[in-house]
Amino acid sequence: MTPEKNRQRRLPLSDGERGEAALFVIGFAVTIILWACAHDLYLIGVEPRHFTVYHRSLLPLSNHALLALQYATVATLGPGMVFGAITFAVCRLGRWSRLGFWPAWLLFLPFVALIEAAALGVGHYAAHRFEAGLAPPYPEALYPDSTAGIAYTQSVNITAYLGAALFGGLYQLVLFLVRLRRA
């Protein structure tokens, strides 16, 4: 491909904007990875089998902390980068006033806390349902076994993934509304 054709395929961003786009992509990816690492370190402490039995092996790790960090990073690196790119687009592209990385990042933190609180709350709810002999909060087919630990950790993870999709979209809408209001 010729350099001219390659230039035509790039987003119409100035060199400064490319650096800002990279900050969004890397910054949000790192934030989401760190969140996932804390999340998975907690879960592996609650029920190691969630990772040691019910996840396919990636690297031959026996240390539970390293195993949790590995799965958290692999599961969130790509989605975190895509989320950062989308956030950049919502914050910077278009004719409205631009929103920088730091205000967008600070606004993201309450969404992370809300998602994690909801996930942990549903996990506790699932554990109480299990202890009472009731079905888990999600379809039983989503649970690899019927033990209390897996009922808890799987409910936490399902809720975290659903919450990330739902509240991630809501976060993008809020960013857009912030830009419109500032315009």
pLDDT tens readout for residues 23-64: 999 999 999 999 999 999 999 999 999 999 998 888 898 899
| Whole-structure pTM value | 0.90
Q: Say what percent of the chain tops pLDDT 70.
A: 94
Nearest to 35 by CA among 114, 101, 112: 112
Nearest to 91 by CA among 21, 15, 162, 6: 21
Query: 9 lies in a domain?
Result: no
Query: 6 lies in a domain?
Result: no
Within 10 A of 73 (CB to CB), how many other CB atoms are there?
17
DSSP-derived secondary structure letter, 137: S
Query: 3 lies in a domain?
Result: no
Q: Tell me the pLDDT tens digit for each residue of 80-125.
A: 999 999 999 999 988 888 999 999 999 999 999 999 999 999 999 9
Task: Output the pLDDT for position 167.
Answer: 97
Please give the tally of structural domains in the chain: 1
Average pLDDT over the chain, rounded to whole? 92
Residue 51 to residues 35, 48, 75, 87, 140, Cα–Cα distance (Å)? 17, 6, 13, 31, 19
Which tokens in the block code for residue 70?
């590995």
Q: Kindly state the average pLDDT of the residues 57-81.
A: 93
Query: 8 lies in a domain?
Result: no
Is pLDDT at 6 greater than 70 in this prediction?
A: no
Biggest CA pair distance of the chain: 67
Query: 169 lies in a domain?
Result: yes
Task: Output the pLDDT for position 96.
Answer: 85
Structural domain for 105, as ranges: 16-182
